[in-house]
Chain A
Amino acid sequence: MTANPPLRVLIVEDEVLLATELEYLVTASGAEPVGHAMTSPEALDLAERLRPDLALVDVHLGDGPTGVEAARGMTDHCGAVVLFITANLKRLPSDLAGACGVMSKPYSEHQVRAALGFIEACMVNGRATCPPPQGLQLSAAYAELWNGPAAA
Chain B
Amino acid sequence: MSRRVAITGVGAVTPLGVGAAALNERWAAGDSGISDGLGRCADFEPTDHLSRRVARRTDRFTQLALVAAGEAIGQAGLDEASYDRAEVGCVMGTGIGGISTIEAEHAALREGRGKVSPHCVPQMMANSAAGALAIEHELRGQCFGTVSACAAGANAIGAAARMVAHGDASACVAGGSEAAITELAMAAFAEMGATSESGISRPFDRRRDGFVMGEGAGAMVLEDADTAESRGARILGYLTGYGSTADAHHMTAPEPSGEGAARAIAKALGDAEIAPGDLAYVNAHGTSTPLNDRSETEALKAALGEEAMRIPISSTKSAIGHLLGAAGAVEAVATLGALRAQVAPPTLNLEEPDEDLDLDYVPGEAKPLPLNGHPPIGISNSFGFGGHNVVLCIEAAA
Genuine A/B complex: no
Residue positions of B touching A, CB distance < 8 A: none
Q: Which positions in A face B, CB cutoff 8 Å?
A: none
